[in-house]
Amino acid sequence: REAAAKRVEQRYAADRERLGYKGCRTYNDFRELLACDDIDAVVVATPDHWHVPAAIAAVRAGKDVYVEKPLGISMEHNKAMRETVHLHSAVFQYGTQQRSFSQHCGFACELVRNGYIGDIKAVHVIAPNGERGGNAESQPVAEGVDYDLWLGPAPVTPFCRDRCLGVGARKGVYHIYDYAIGFIAGWGAHPLDIAHWGYPHIPVEYEGTGVIPTEGLFDTVVDWDVRGRYANGAEFTLKPGSDLTTFVGTKGWIAVGRGRQTLAAEPASLLEVKIKPDEIHLLQENNHYGDFLNCVMTRRTPASNIDSAVQSDFISHLGDICIRTGRKIKWDPKKETIVGDDSAARMMRRALRAPWTV
């Protein structure tokens, strides 16, 4: 906290006189921050298991929220987040930044939404694979860590560095089921968001395979191979690899990747299309954080709002559930529930450790 606060102070030191900057306060407990009347908006960039509980608490405290992806660690948590945002008329921006800074992603989705590739026949999504391993050996709690608060709504487990820290993609919080559902959501959130942005529906059937590691600390699904079907019969697939979303239509296809600004199409002439003024335009800003702040001030709906966030995140969860059960999952998009499989439907919920609630 102190190191981060120091960087903020250095960045804004010159603005003390010009902008009336009052300094950066630090807190150990986020609830103390939420009690401050002079704070209008917060960014939730915690481990995944804290995303929804912290964001709901913020909205109930009268704050607008920017929430990093993925959304919740259960589908019912996502529904609770959506209900709370709408109940309090809060501004909610989801951390799928390609909706602002990746102009090529928006252009690809505009082509799809405006019918340039015809009727959708298939949507194929690729997302980077998860990690295996992790050392579960118990260790003394690291200095400065309030471990009970870090665990929050998650079950009590011994502290170890691979659980709480780690480097880059190997942070345990990304790959341990108590805190996340793995990269099928943690990285899948980006290409799945593009899929839903371009084709705003989610599949109604899911089946697939994957590996749930049994050795080491990490136990979220890897090597997933999910196949599904939309209500109109269009095919859906989700596989591991470099991030890519491909829309296949009756008149051609478009493939778009977030990370390396990948954009390809057949016919290639699609890439020369100019979206007409009276057609659907999706891009609002070229700065995702700026879009959020502008929406806080104007009350406009952000580029990556709560409704689309919930729907795209549902796809990750349903893919995970079909792998964990080993069964085909049928989804009712109107009732927002799994049908015909009570045990799978129960996996839409997660218990929270007292006293935490959503």
Tens-place pLDDT, residues 192-228:
999 999 999 999 999 999 999 999 999 999 999 999 9
Domain boundary, last residue among 41, 69, 97: 97
58 and 188 co-located in one domain: no
Q: Which of 38-47, 104-113, 159-168, 320-329 has the lowest mean pLDDT?
A: 159-168
Residue 161, pLDDT > 80, answer yes
Per DSSP bridges, beta strands 222-229 and 235-240 are antiparallel
Give the CATH number of the domain where residue 75 resides: 3.40.50.720
Pair (220, 127) in one structural domain: yes
Domain extent, residue 93, equals: 2-97
| Predicted pLDDT at 259 | 78
Q: What is the CATH number of the domain that holds 223?
A: 3.30.360.10
Q: How confident is the model at residue 102 (pLDDT cuts 50, 70, 90)?
A: confident
- Within this chain, do residues 189 and 72 fall inside the same structural domain, yes or no? no
Mapping DSSP to helix (H, G, I), strand (E, B) and coil, where does residue 176 land?
coil
Kindly report, residue by residue over 104-152, the tens digit of the pLDDT: 999 999 999 999 999 999 999 999 999 999 999 999 998 889 999 999 9
For 257-270, what is each residue's pLDDT tens digit? 997 779 999 999 99
Q: With bands split at pLDDT 50, 70 and 90, how would you rate the model's confidence at 18?
A: low
Q: Are 245 and 195 in contact (CB under 8 A)?
A: yes
Within-domain flag for 93: yes
The pLDDT value recorded for residue 17 is: 65
Mean residue pLDDT of the chain comes to 95
* 70 and 109 fall within a common domain: no
Let me know if residue 142 belongs to a domain: no
Task: Say yes or no: 255 and 331 in one domain.
Answer: yes
Question: What local confidence, expressed as pLDDT, does residue 16 receive?
Answer: 64
pLDDT band at 19 (very low <50, low <70, confident <90, very high): low
Asked if residue 22 and residue 77 are part of one domain, the reply reads yes
Whether the pLDDT of residue 171 is over 90: the answer is no
- Structural domain count, the chain: 2
Is the pTM higher than 0.85? yes
Q: Do residues 90 and 113 share a domain?
A: no
Could you tell me if residue 61 is inside a domain?
yes
Together in a domain, 122 and 74: no
Q: What is the DSSP string of 26-79?
A: --SSHHHHHT-TT--EEEE-S-HHHHHHHHHHHHHTT-EEEE-SS--SSHHHHH
When pLDDT is cut at 50, 70 and 90, the band that residue 2 belongs to is confident
pLDDT digit string (tens) for 243-255? 999 999 999 999 9
Position 7 scores a pLDDT of: 87
Whether the CB-CB separation of 183 and 238 falls below 8 Å is answered with no
Q: Do 273 and 317 fall into the same domain?
A: yes
For residue 226, give the amino acid letter.
Answer: V
Render the burial of 238-276: b for 16+ CB within 10 Å, e for the rest.
bbbeebbbbbbbeebbbbbbbeeebbebeeeebeeeebe
**pLDDT: is 324 or 144 the higher one?**
324
Q: What pairing do the DSSP bridges indicate for beta strands 120-127 and 235-240?
A: parallel
Instruction: Looking at the structure, tell me whether residues 126 and 71 fall in a common domain.
Output: no
pLDDT at 172 > cutoff 90: no
Query: What is the rounded distance in angstroms from the CA atom of residue 191 to the CA atom of residue 125?
Result: 6
Could you say which of 44, 73, 97 is where a domain stops? 97
Does residue 174 form part of some domain? yes
Mean pLDDT of 337-350: 98
pLDDT of residue 244: 98
Residues 183 and 244 in one domain: yes
Measured distance CA(194)–CA(189) in Å, rounded: 9
| Helix, strand, coil distribution of the chain in percent, nearest 5 | 35, 20, 45
Residue 111 and residue 77 in one domain: no
Cα separation, 23 vs 324, in Å, equals: 48
Q: Is the pLDDT of residue 10 over 90?
A: no
Q: Is the predicted pLDDT of residue 15 greater than 70, yes or no?
A: no
